A = this chain, B = another copy of it.
Amino acid sequence: MVNYPAGMGRSHTADTEVSSRKTSAGRRGMELENDINRTNEWYLNEDTAVIHKKPTPITIVKVDYPDRSAAKITEAYFKVPSTTDYNGIYKGKYLDFEAKECKTNTSFPIKSIHPHQIKHLDAVTRHGAIAFVIVRFVNLSETFYVIASDMTEYIRTCGRSSIPHDWFMEHGTLIPFSYNKPVDYLKIVDQLYFKENQ
């Protein structure tokens, strides 16, 4: 059974947003990122948590200096990330996660997550982090929170190239949506790690 956060029925997160979640080709893959950035900004302004997206890692090859105040990068390349995209601090704990959109409805392709990122999630988990992966099934309008070690263990042992949607229904938790906090993942963190405070 999928876990619904308190007070959030499936109809709320899944059905009512289908139409508003349709994306143009250009924005594809960016919507989840934008939603998470907006949520993080809200957390920051409320002083609930300090969590940022890391800049995209690039290799800079050539920089022009038309004048000192506006150096212009004229040749650079994207690098394979060695860590996850997001980290920060919440209630004194180190928090670390990766976020991925999934365009198919039946399963999540494992190759979407780099081996470096899996290794990184395992490492921070070993050191005591709250580590997780956010996976959005775009067409289903479902955004899941999955504990990192559950997912990396499955990836290591499943012998498959993708994780079935059913697995997320069983092991994941749907993340509640609100206008100010479109991906309110700290609600799930509270349920999993700070129950005594609620």
Contacts and interface: CB of A to CB of B under 8 A. Distances in A.
A58 B75 CA distance: 13
A72 B77 contact: yes
Chain copies in complex: 2
Given A56-B55, A83-B52, A120-B50, A128 B92 contact: yes
Residue picked from A50, A120, A126, A128, most chain B C-beta under 10 Å = A50
Interface residues of A, number: 40
A126 B70 contact: no
Interface in A126-152: 126-129
A124 B91 contact: no
A69 B156 CA distance: 27
A4 interface: no
A75 B77 contact: no
Contacts of A91: 127-128
A127 B95 CA distance: 12
Nearest to A57: B55
A56 B60 contact: yes
A74 interface: yes
A94 interface: yes
A90 interface: yes
A76 B70 CA distance: 10
Contacts of A90: 127
A55 B59 CA distance: 9
Interface of A: 44, 47, 49-50, 52, 54-58, 60, 70-79, 82-83, 87-96, 120, 123-124, 126-129
17 contacts: A44-B123, A47-B123, A47-B126, A50-B123, A55-B58, A55-B79, A58-B73, A70-B77, A71-B77, A72-B75, A73-B77, A74-B75, A88-B124, A89-B124, A93-B94, A93-B128, A94-B94
